[in-house]
């Protein structure tokens, strides 16, 4: 099924190379195939697809820098590669990708503070930074990132945003309620 989706997305991109939405769909397809390869333990295959997705996302962001969806797509690509590097034990490499995703997500949240998706994405990025700091042995920095997560989640609550189960669980743990 995924291979068929990829073939369609690649064909649409070939037929209309200037259509940015087709390019975005192809980037999403590459990320999902990267996820599939990663789940199957083929990290080299995952990396190949994640890097293809990243190249397209970077192109989209360059061609339409004010498009928030394309910026978010780029942040997702950075996070996928960061997760891959983390899984391979390269925490410095993972951190570089996480920092790039974080910078984009900070900007998205700044530009649309009432949009729950961007707020959640920023919490996820801060959590990844906390985890990476913890794995690198910097508990102080990890605690600062977790504090930022709690601030963001509380800000979401104050704005009346619904918290999904992961955010609710994170909030409980950060408040020491469990």
DSSP three-state, residue 159: coil
Confidence of residue 19 (pLDDT cuts 50, 70, 90): confident
What pLDDT sits at residue 159?
A: 95
The CA distance from 169 to 80, in Å, is 23
Residue 22 scores a pLDDT above 90: no
Residue 4 scores a pLDDT above 90: no
pLDDT in tens, 31-56: 999 999 999 999 999 999 999 999 99
The number of angstroms, rounded, from the C-alpha of 58 to the middle of its chain's C-alpha atoms is 14
Choose among 52, 136, 55: nearest CA to 93: 136
The CA distance from 43 to 123, in Å, is 26
Residue 66 DSSP code:
T
Residue 152 scores a pLDDT above 90: yes
φ, ψ (nearest 5 deg) of residue 171: -60, -45
Contact (Cβ atoms closer than 8 angstroms) between residue 97 and residue 105: no
What pLDDT sits at residue 15?
A: 81
22-31, 47-56, 75-84: which has the minimum mean pLDDT? Answer: 22-31
Q: What is the pTM of this model?
A: 0.91
Residue 164 DSSP code:
P
pLDDT in tens, 97-139: 999 999 999 999 999 999 999 999 999 999 999 999 999 999 9
| DSSP of 89-149 | T-HHHHHHHHHHHHHHHHHHHHH-TT-HHHHHHHHHHHHHHHHHHHHTT-HHHHHHHHHHH
C-alpha separations of 117 from 89, 105, 108, 158 in Å: 29, 10, 10, 15
């Amino acid at each position: 099924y995924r291979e068929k989706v990829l073939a369609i997305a690649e064909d649409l991109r070939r037929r209309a190379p200037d259509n940015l939405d087709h390019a975005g769909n192809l980037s999403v397809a590459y990320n999902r195939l990267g996820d599939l390869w990663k789940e199957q333990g083929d990290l080299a295959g995952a990396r190949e697809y994640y890097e293809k997705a990243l190249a397209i996302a970077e192109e989209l962001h360059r061609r339409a820098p004010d498009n928030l969806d394309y910026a978010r797509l780029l942040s997702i690509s950075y996070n996928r590669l960061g997760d891959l590097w983390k899984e391979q034990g390269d925490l410095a490499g993972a951190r570089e990708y996480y920092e790039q995703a974080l910078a984009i997500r900070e900007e998205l949240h700044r530009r649309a503070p009432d949009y729950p998706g961007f707020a959640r994405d920023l919490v996820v990025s801060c959590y990844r930074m906390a985890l990476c700091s913890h794995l690198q042995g910097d508990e102080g920095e990890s605690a600062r990132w977790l504090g930022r997560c709690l601030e963001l989640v509380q800000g979401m609550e104050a704005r009346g945003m619904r918290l999904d189960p992961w955010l609710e669980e994170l909030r409980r743990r950060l408040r020491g309620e469990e």
